[in-house]
Every structure is written in structure tokens, then in C-alpha cells.
Amino acid sequence: MSQPTIVDSHCHLDFSDFDAERPDVIQRALDAGVERMVTICTRLRLEPQVRAIAEEFAPVYYAAGTHPMSAAEEPLATFDELVKLAEHPKFVGIGETGLDYHYTAESMGIQQESLRVHIAAARETKLPLIIHARAADDDMARILAEEYANGAYTCVMHCFSSSAELGKAALDLGFYLSMSGIAAFPKSKDLRDIFASAPIDRVLVETDSPYLAPPPHRGKRNEPAYSALTARVGAETFGMDYADFARQTTENFDRLFWKAAQ
């Protein structure tokens, strides 16, 4: 019987960590049952390089935006710029964008402005918004809700590791939570409990590679193949067979990232 297939909904294949062996990394993902990957551009000036990876490798799709930690260093993304990028057939999401007050609280004003531009583009293109949230739960919940009241849009809370309150706020808006290697860490029981209380049809799996490798690779470079390891922990968290969890999260991905649906 063939192994179940899953999707790595968020990775960074353009990072230099992968330069020496990008084709091998993608092949290892396929061998592990990871049938598709979304590689994320975090600075719009690098979009051509990220797009080129998606164009070269059939299983790879891409998204682009300005990461909140870079918002003060990069030109402010424009609505027209993001909407234009969405014309590419393998461009499947807006972001990652969001708020990060952990290291970059001094730029919270420009982060919030950038976030609202990305939300407007997601609303216009009907593509999912990809959110990075750290140490900014109250502002994040408020802005997501304010903007949703201005017009519906879809969204995934990527690498979700925030509070149960922010998780509920996102789920209440119909958004998705994405499970990364953090959820597989032994001490992440509270985070797994948040996921376990979420509707199973609103959960995705990702690596955020090259960061946050799940056990037994923790502390080493992460890669898309390892999303299968996180997915196995996800299956345990929901009390599901791995094949059922893999099928459900893939259906979830196809619903949200509709341009990448097979």
C-alpha cells in the first residue's frame, strides 16, 4: 500500500541553507510523502528568486509578502504590487505578514500598516493570508477582526504557537491554524491541547524550514520531508490514524490554498 501524502504548507526553500542541495531536498520530501510544498518569500525584492524555484520544481508553489520583522527595513508593500503578483499561476497566498513584537516592537506601527495592506490584497485576490504572530496577540486579534468586518477574507495562522485566546479568535473568523515542529516538541503539551480543541477541518501542517525541526532532528536544519514527522504527532494529538490525518489536512490545504489544489 502506498504511503499517505501530505503537504508542507510553509517552508523557505530560497534560503541559503538549501543552496547546495535544493533538488535533493525536494526529492526527499516527495520520498517522505510530502507531495506539495509552498515556499514563502519574506521580502518582496526577493520574489523573482522564490518564483524561479516554484517554476523549476513542479511540486513547489509560492507566496510572497513582507515579514513583520522586516517591515521597517523594506519598502512598504503596495496593494497593486501584491495583486499583480497573484496573477502568476503558482502564486497561491499573500504573505507571510503579521505582527512580531518579540524582537521588533519598536516598528509596531509600520507592521500594522503593512499587515492591513496585505489583508486588502488577500481580500481582493481571494488568496489566503499567511500570518506570523508573536508577542502581539491582542493587536493581532483586533486587527484581524476589524479587517474581517470590512470584508471577508481567508487566513492561516502559520506556525501557530500563540495563546488559546488568539487561536479561538482566529478560528471564530473561520481561519486555519498550522502545526509546525514546535507542536512536536515534548514540552509543547499546552500547544497540542489548543490544536486538539480546534476543528480538524481547520488544521494544516508545515515545517517553516529551515527552522524548527521536529524531533528527532530538533536543533538541526529542518526540511520539508520532516513535515511528515510533525503530521504523525498531529495524528496522535487528534487521536486519528496517520492516513486519516494526512488525508484531512490535505483536504484542508486544498480548500484554503485553492490555486494549489490538485
* Mean pLDDT of the residues in the chain: 97
pLDDT digits (tens, 9 = 90+) for 84-128: 999 999 999 999 999 999 999 999 999 999 999 999 999 999 999
* The predicted structure's pLDDT at residue 154: 98
CATH number, position 165: 3.20.20.140
In a domain, 242, yes or no: yes
Q: Domain for residue 121, yes or no?
A: yes
**Sign, CA torsion 236/241/247/252:** negative
Question: By the 8 A CB rule, do 162 and 134 touch?
Answer: yes
List the 176-179 sheet strands across, edge first: 6-11, 34-41, 60-64, 91-100, 129-134, 155-157, 176-179, 203-205
Q: Specify the number of domains making up the chain.
A: 1
In a domain, 1, yes or no: no
Question: b vs e for 154-182, b when ≥16 Cβ sit within 10 Å of the residue's Cβ?
Answer: bbbbbbbbbeeebbebbbebebbbbbbbb
> pTM (2 decimals)?
0.97
How many whole angstroms separate alpha carbon 203 and alpha carbon 60? 20
Host domain of residue 86: 6-260
Indicate whether 74 belongs to any domain: yes
Per-residue pLDDT at 77 exceeds 90:
yes
**10-24 pLDDT, tens per residue?**
999 999 999 999 999
Residue 211 lies in a domain: yes
State the Cα angle at 214 between 94 and 219, rounded to 5°.
105
Distance between CA atoms of residues 25 and 32, nearest Å: 11
